[in-house]
Structures are given as structure tokens and as C-alpha cells.
Amino acid sequence: MPTSLCSRYKYNCQRRRSVQGQIQTSAFTVHSWYPGIQPAPPSFADLMGRSALASSAQGDAATAEVARKRQQQEDAAIFLVHLLISCANAIQAGDYAAATSNLAAARTALATTVSTAGGIGRVLSHFAAALAQRLVPAFPTQHGAAPNAASSAAHAGELYRQFYEAGPYLKFAHFTANQAILEACDGCDRVHVIDLAIMQGVQWPSLIQAFSLRPGGPPAVRITGIGPPPAADGSRNELQDVGVRLAELARALNVPFSFNVVTADSLDALKPWMFQIAPGEALAVNSVCQLHRLLVDQDAASTSLPSPIDAVLGWVTAIQPRVFTVVEQEADHNKPTLVERFVNALFYYAAVFDSMEALSAQRLALTGRPAAGGLGAEAYLQREIFNIVCSEGSGRVERHEPLVLWHARLWRAGMWQMPVGPSALGQATALLRTFSGAGFRAHESGGCLSLMWHDQALFTSSVWRAAPPTNTAAGDSILDKQADNGKSSSGSSGHHQAAAAPGGIAMK
């Protein structure tokens, strides 16, 4: 989205004070939500006046024509944004006739005046499609609205991989988490990492390699990967395949390694005994973009049972990890009303899509080839957009919240924040140097690291540990106090819905 369009739309919305009298001014206050925001472009008269000083009359006319066309495109895009927000507002009010009318007008604009080949038109086309999905039928789905039914774990994993390849987003998340684990486990002989969503395991080769280079030799590394239960049709177990690949890498690097699988339909169904924690292990728990999926509506929370997020943070605290790495989208998509979520998501994903487009243009200029994973990465983001816009209740799982809310929640759960070390910022900056020409940078604030697209935070990484028990001195090793926390149960095998798969792949 051009910066002039961002500032003009926000300014127009502030002057209007609401969209159709129902959207509060605060939702549209002019601020630098968009990266690198600049003042609105010079007026037509300014452009003409400046041109006259340095150009011929023919040059003046050409400049004026370019400015006129740009103005028309921005006006059309601003009007399209207004139509889509009006549609969301009508849906929220239950006026489906008005919503259908606004959506039809928006689709006409997308087909005739706003290009969907790139820029703001491309991201707006996804939001228009999400609103259309929400309107068919004319009430929100309770089971999540994905762009298609191909929502298997294998399909989701492939989209995740392509989003990983498309830019620094997940690379930044994995790197900052791995750096924190590496520093927290310095000098430990045995390291046990519990990954709340192992996916395809792309995070862990770099950590294994880093441990292999440790002076004095590598520790024994054990990774417990959490994932969905195997498919009922008996198809290939991808989690075990991940373990095989990681074991082969560890063998080549002479790192003692073992891999365990824990399957679960939901993270809150897990229990500490499933991880078979051994006394003396340096325990790390890793969560990359997973905790927000555990949030629920306030009115849906049970008064007798802990909410899913409280249950998970409860068992994480109970196992007393040396380090708990948390990476989340720096966004606010868990508002109770559709319009608030829609507006916040529109601005956030406009920044993400713009960064992907800039990165693709940079790679094309440097290598002559487009960025890897483009279509799959776009589909990955589209699934998130659809879930935010289309789903309500238990079907809505993309409940991104900003760091300030996570900080308060983790503190209440008994976690202490560990500020990132000075080397983490330097190394994250080095990681992003490849992408810096496209506008990415790392930013440290409040002991956390954020991936920035110009001035817009996209992802934030924070590091935590369980607070020591009241009878433990702050300087004591927490791990020395947990000998009984992770003893395995003789009945730990044989479970399928939320059970450990003991006796994982091992390598000496």
C-alpha cells in the first residue's frame, strides 16, 4: 500500500470520525501504523510548480499526467477499503443486504479499477474473498473458514515451509529462539528441547550445528516434537520422518541425539509426564506462533476448568524450564467485534504483503529470479486472514495479541522474563542484513526482539523462565529442584490422542 494512501485513508477516516456512524475514531487515529510512513505526496499544484522550475512544458505535462493517474489509483483504493470496512460493519450489525451490496461494489472495483496483481489491491482481494466466505451462509462458521478443505497437517506443514522460505519472518523467529536456548544451556551436558509445534523441524538443524561447535564438545541433545496424531488412513508418519532427518544431521556432526514424539489433538491435553523429563536435563520449551491459538472468548471460558492457555502455561511452569522461548505476531487480532479485527488485520497484513512484495522485487533485481515460496506463502497468510474474518467461537484460532498482553499473561502464570543478551541483537541484525535492502531490521525494546518492516513490528520474540519456588534462592538452579517433575510413567505408552511416543530415534 503506498504510504500516501495509508496516511490519506487514515486521515480521511479520522475526519469522518466513523464509518457509517458506527466505527469509533480511535480505531482509525492517524499514526504510523504503516512502515516508513511519509507525509502525503505534494499536491497537483506543487508538482506542477516544481516541474516548471526544472522542466520544459512537455515535462510538466508528463509529470502532471503521472500524478493524475496515481491520484486516481489511490482514490480508487481508498474507496475500496471503505467499501470493505462498510461491508464488515454491516455484517456485524446483521444487515446482510447492505453487506452484500457493499461487497458487490468492492468486487466491481477489484475487477475494473484496482489491480490485484500487486500492491494494496492484492491484499484487499484476500479480505474481499474472506468477507464473501463469511456471507455464505449469512452467519459465521463455528469450524473455521479456510480457503479450501485441504487443511490436513501435511498441507499446513507445506504452506508453513513455503512461508519460511519466502522471507525472514520465521527465520527470525527460529534464530532468536535458538540463540536464547543456546545461551541458557551454556555449559550443560544434557539438553532437552520441547517444541510445542515441531512442524517440519526446520528450526532445529541450526541449533544442532551450533551445539556441535561448542568448545569442549557438544551436549547430548534430546528434542521432543509435539504434533497431531497420525492420520487414520495409516499414511506416512511425518513426525517420525522429521526425527530421522534430524538424527542423520546430528550423526554427521557427532552430536549425541535422540528424538521423541508426543501427539495431541490440543496442547492443553498434554501432561508433564508425557515428556519423560530426566533429572539433570537442561530443559527448554519452545513456542513459535502457537500460544495465540489457545486463547478463547471471555464468555466461553469455563468457571470450573482452566482455559486452554492457562492449562498450557500451567504445565510449562510446572516442569520448571531453564528457558521458555515465545515468538508471536505483533498484532491485535483478538478483538471481540468483527470490525475491530477486520481493520487491525487489514493494516497488519498490508504491511506483511508489502514487505513480501519489496523482498521479491529485490531478489528479482539481484538474481533475475522471484522470491522462493511466493504462492505458498501467500496461501499461508490467506488462511490466517480467512480465520480472523470468517470464524467465531472455537473456530477462530488466529487470535494474535501484542506483546504487552502476553507479558502480563506470562507474568501471572509464574514466569520471569529474561532479557535478550546483547549478542542476540547483533546476530539478528546480521541475519537480516541479507534482507535489509528490502526494509527489514531487528529492534530491541523491553528486553525483547522484534522483526521490523521499516517502523512496523511484525513478530516479537521474548524469553522466559519459570519463577523459582518461594523456598529457592533466586540464584539457585531451578533444574536441581525438579528431580521428580519429569519421571516417566510405566503407562506412558499406548495413548493416541495425547500421548508420548517413547523410545524415539536415538543416536550415539
Q: Among 358, 328, 349, 351, which Cα is nearest to 435's?
A: 358
Q: How confident is the model over 98-127, as a mean pLDDT? A: 94
Q: Are 463 and 305 in contact (CB under 8 A)?
A: no
Of 246 and 120, which is predicted with more confidence?
246
Question: Which range (138-142, 197-201, 260-264, 497-501) has the least confidence?
Answer: 497-501
* Tens-place pLDDT, residues 239-266: 889 999 999 999 999 999 999 999 999 9
Q: Whole-model pTM?
A: 0.80
Radius of gyration of the chain (CA): 25
Q: How far apart are CA 411 and CA 413, in angstroms?
A: 5
Q: How far apart are CA 443 and CA 464, in angstroms?
A: 18
**pLDDT score, position 33:** 33
Q: How far apart are CA 429 and CA 450, in angstroms?
A: 11
Q: How far apart are CA 396 and CA 391, in angstroms?
A: 5
Q: What is the mean pLDDT of the chain?
A: 80
Q: How far apart are CA 267 and CA 264, in angstroms?
A: 6
Q: How far apart are CA 410 and CA 415, in angstroms?
A: 6
* Grid cell at residue 5: 494512501
* pLDDT surpasses 90 at 479: no
Q: How far apart are CA 421 and CA 119, in angstroms?
A: 37
Q: How far apart are CA 432 and CA 242, in angstroms?
A: 27
First to last CA, the chain: 53
* pLDDT surpasses 70 at 295: yes
Q: Write the DSSP string, 300-358.
A: GS-SSS--HHHHHHHHHHHT--SEEEEEEES-----SSHHHHHHHHHHHHHHHHHHHHH
Q: What's the burial of 213, exposed, middle or buried (CB within 10 Å: 0-12/13-18/19+)?
A: exposed
Q: How confident is the model over 387-405, as a mean pLDDT? A: 95
Q: How confident is the model over 418-424, as a mean pLDDT? A: 85
Question: Which range (67-71, 106-110, 127-131, 386-390) has the least confidence?
Answer: 67-71
User: CB neighbours of 381 closer than 8 A, spacing ≥ 6?
Assistant: 126, 163, 349, 352, 353
* Tens-place pLDDT, residues 305-349: 889 999 999 999 999 999 999 999 999 999 999 999 999 999 999
Indicate the Cα dihedral angle 177, 182, 183, 185, nearest 10°: 120
* pLDDT surpasses 50 at 49: no
The number of C-alpha atoms within 13 Å of 434 and in the hemisphere containing its C-beta is 12
Q: How far apart are CA 75 and CA 63, in angstroms?
A: 18
Q: How far apart are CA 125 and CA 147, in angstroms?
A: 13
Question: Which range (42-51, 138-147, 460-469, 483-492) has the least confidence?
Answer: 483-492
Confidence category of residue 72, pLDDT binned at 50, 70, 90: confident
Q: How far apart are CA 453 and CA 370, in angstroms?
A: 20
The number of C-alpha atoms within 13 Å of 322 and in the hemisphere containing its C-beta is 24
How much of the chain exceeds pLDDT 90, in percent?
A: 57
Confidence category of residue 467, pLDDT binned at 50, 70, 90: confident
